[in-house]
Structure 1
């Protein structure tokens, strides 16, 4: 998708400190079991190569309308050392091939899949983001830090073709593509309607709709050794793919791509219905993850709507955590105002969490995000049990080792609550520093924890 909605966000938290209190009266709460344990890393090293027992963190390394002029690849490259130190394990780049709007395009109107800023066409030599040489240098540098690089792939539609007579429509259509790279020429027979199919699942923005049923198109996209998928992965060095607007074509397309090309995949199936997200993942034969839009919208309702009970609702991570990518905002949509609560949620729950470039570099407290990234990678292990919810409070635990208990408070007051942990007779602490309590769990594993106003605490053994 292509539209970016910009919002300003301000986060305020009071950091009052209480002295440690001894447990008093135990209040039992019923726990809700969510999912089985994911596979955990065996390494305690938490750089990008060894992301720790909690797993890695993805950085969306762009936003809508990043500065033009061919400087963006170098900007991202300059951030890699600090991102690696923070624990970022992969970056997602915008579409890297030349698009119809050349130096002004964000890449979602693709024209020549093999022009990475090295052919003078569509008004420029470089793309908006830079040259092919700069892109290759960025990928190489990321790999030197053991950071994976994901390419944004737009294969639903094309843009920038010449006008030609189209016997399939009886009109003239912009479907004559003569790329300067000399690869993947296209004509009216490669778009809908044609002799193979009249249409597929969706058309975007009136652009010519690429037909994946055509054998020639399949060859160039994922079958040929010099085709798009294999060239991006084996020659350019991309480690995975983010598939744009996957509502526009069948899940079998991603399935066949991944079976032929390999690597990591996540699809943008923009829908808040967790069942539909699961259906799409299944349609790819589980070769691809999906962005958890269900989680995204429930977080907005919970944190901005002051109803943390919404976090009990259905989300993809509760159904299929190993195929879930969670996020707080992206280049298309930015509706959550209470972002620190949302980041505390995705960094402590199952799924592959994403950090948005502007949140990290411009809008939020970087030290707090770094703290949450560290907690995710070192503590967020095991299945999830929701311990308590109401409008203002939410408590959940991760059941692995070391595991954690996260306490979210959306009220204007300090709150305390007795919870059942996985630790017996163990001293725990809040790894966010928002509380200075260091209580010891009872032999029955119960303990009283606290959380400041409009804040969060995350507890784990010392």
Structure 2
């Protein structure tokens, strides 16, 4: 029971927030939604997703159904996601947790049991079995979609009692998983003979000590390590590191250095400077989820003050290491989601789409339009053109084949228009979401008049796409 406390608490928060914001989502998103422009083009992914190019899908939500194989469900969507422009998927922790077939994976017991061994009350995990996972990963690779593993390295769960000389009590720190790999005992957790604690523990779970050779060998150091098994046998392409506040950034650095691949850490901190410091501490091997951007969008779009888009964000400091997002399995506080997705799809950073937003709550055609704009038009650095509490306009300056965009957010209940300076002289531009039918000719000095619909956004670029 104590092993379920950690994530059930966060899930309860999620459900409460979802109910709290349901009404504002209806008024701010659905009723004022412009029709999405019809985009017939599909994508051929390049298998190297990254900021400014690819789009990440978080391919699960909290308490996904465990009555059938979630891996099969995700696998059935791969072709459509590929056509929409999704270039990578982030899967939930895939190995056996203490809660067995009901575990969301954040209570790890056997890091090498992907639904093969009858332990913790089940053979399969909540998400399915090893064969289904292998099929999913193989199909994703056939579509040149990368697959990121969710790595829970701070704590373990489900151990049996043993006498612990470092606490003078009995502790749940004896782990003998049926896979026969990564056995653990009291010396592999805090406190031990090296130190009493590290950066942080969570929820009373046994807290792994990464300074112990047995732990570091099994996670990334040895030829039999998790990192090598997940990369070379399971064929994961990248890593999402859970709760990185609980252990040193050097652990992430060593893990990524051992096998490569894309990496992003959950450093839950709304301070952009702190996020950048954590990225720096990994030696630049990892990106971070841009919680500073997340909270700024909430303040801007849900509190009717668009000047919060001037707030400091990780993408403004280091777009190449920022993974931007609107919601995830742990938190869902943004009500005006379409504007938030328009923001992350038109700005620097690597945008992440939440499964429930895409598959359940929002209009898929409108989301696909924003993904298309991100992948096709939105390149280069960012310049602010107009900032007020009720209107905000940014320009992406273009890079390579991407011509750039001008994105106009309108926080009022009526149409607005502004003269702005573009990077396009003597060119025709149009609006790419279907919000406006204007086709404007840019003056020789780059000046052009654009408009935006009530409580929504418009996105402009040169014609021909």
TM-score by length of 1: 0.92
Q: Is the 8 A contact 1:161 1:176 kept in 2?
A: yes
Shift of the alpha carbon at 1:52?
10
* Unmatched segments (≥5 aa) in structure 1: 18-43
Corresponding residue for 2:196? 198
Shift of the alpha carbon at 1:226?
2.0
Q: Supply the distance in 1 between the matched residues of 2:203 and 2:166 (Cα, whole angstroms).
A: 20
Corresponding residue for 1:40? none
**Alignment counterpart, residue 384 of structure 1, candidates 378, 382, 385:** 382
Q: Supply the distance in 1 between the matched residues of 2:333 and 2:305 (Cα, whole angstroms).
A: 16
- Corresponding position: 1:12 with 2:24: no
Shift of the alpha carbon at 1:45?
8.2
**Measured at CA, do residues 363 and 151 of structure 1 come closer, stay the same or move farther in structure 2, by a change above 3 Å?**
same
**Measured at CA, do residues 299 and 101 of structure 1 come closer, stay the same or move farther in structure 2, by a change above 3 Å?**
same
Q: Is the 8 A contact 1:45 1:52 kept in 2?
A: no
**Measured at CA, do residues 53 and 335 of structure 1 come closer, stay the same or move farther in structure 2, by a change above 3 Å?**
closer
Q: Is the 8 A contact 2:43 2:82 kept in 1?
A: no
After superposition, where does 1:111-260 map in structure 2 within 5 Å?
111-260=109-258
Corresponding residue for 1:453? 454
Q: Which has the higher helix share?
A: 2
Corresponding residue for 1:429? 430
Q: Supply the distance in 2 between the matched residues of 1:100 and 1:45 (Cα, whole angstroms).
A: 42
Q: Secondary structure at the match of 2:263?
A: strand
After superposition, where does 1:100-119 map in structure 2 within 5 Å?
100-119=98-117
Corresponding residue for 1:369? 367
**Measured at CA, do residues 83 and 152 of structure 1 come closer, stay the same or move farther in structure 2, by a change above 3 Å?**
same
**Measured at CA, do residues 246 and 170 of structure 1 come closer, stay the same or move farther in structure 2, by a change above 3 Å?**
same
**Measured at CA, do residues 52 and 333 of structure 1 come closer, stay the same or move farther in structure 2, by a change above 3 Å?**
closer
Q: Is the 8 A contact 2:51 2:349 kept in 1?
A: no
Shift of the alpha carbon at 1:406?
0.4
Q: Secondary structure at the match of 2:327?
A: coil
Q: Secondary structure at the match of 2:460?
A: strand
TM-score by length of 2: 0.92
Q: Is the 8 A contact 1:52 1:378 kept in 2?
A: no
What does the per-residue CA deviation read over 1:46-73, in whole Å, with 9 as the maximum and x for residues that have no partner? 3222679940000000000000134100
Q: How many residues align?
A: 436
Q: Supply the distance in 1 between the matched residues of 2:423 and 2:139 (Cα, whole angstroms).
A: 41
**Alignment counterpart, residue 296 of structure 2, candidates 295, 298, 305:** 298
Q: Secondary structure at the match of 2:30?
A: coil
Corresponding residue for 2:440? 439
Larger deviation, residues 287-296 vs 256-265: 256-265
RMSD: 1.6
Q: Secondary structure at the match of 2:204?
A: coil
What does the per-residue CA deviation read over 1:367-388, in whole Å, with 9 as the maximum and x for residues that have no partner? 0100000000001100000111
Deviating beyond 2 angstroms after TM superposition, the runs of 4 or more aligned structure 1 residues are 12-17, 44-54
Shift of the alpha carbon at 1:103?
0.5
Q: Supply the distance in 1 between the matched residues of 2:45 and 2:271 (Cα, whole angstroms).
A: 32
* Unmatched segments (≥5 aa) in structure 2: 1-5, 36-40
Q: Secondary structure at the match of 1:436?
A: coil
Corresponding residue for 1:21? none
Q: Secondary structure at the match of 2:385?
A: strand
Q: Secondary structure at the match of 1:439?
A: strand
After superposition, where does 1:14-33 map in structure 2 within 5 Å?
14=32
Corresponding residue for 2:44? 47
Q: Supply the distance in 1 between the matched residues of 2:46 and 2:248 (Cα, whole angstroms).
A: 34
- Corresponding position: 1:278 with 2:276: yes
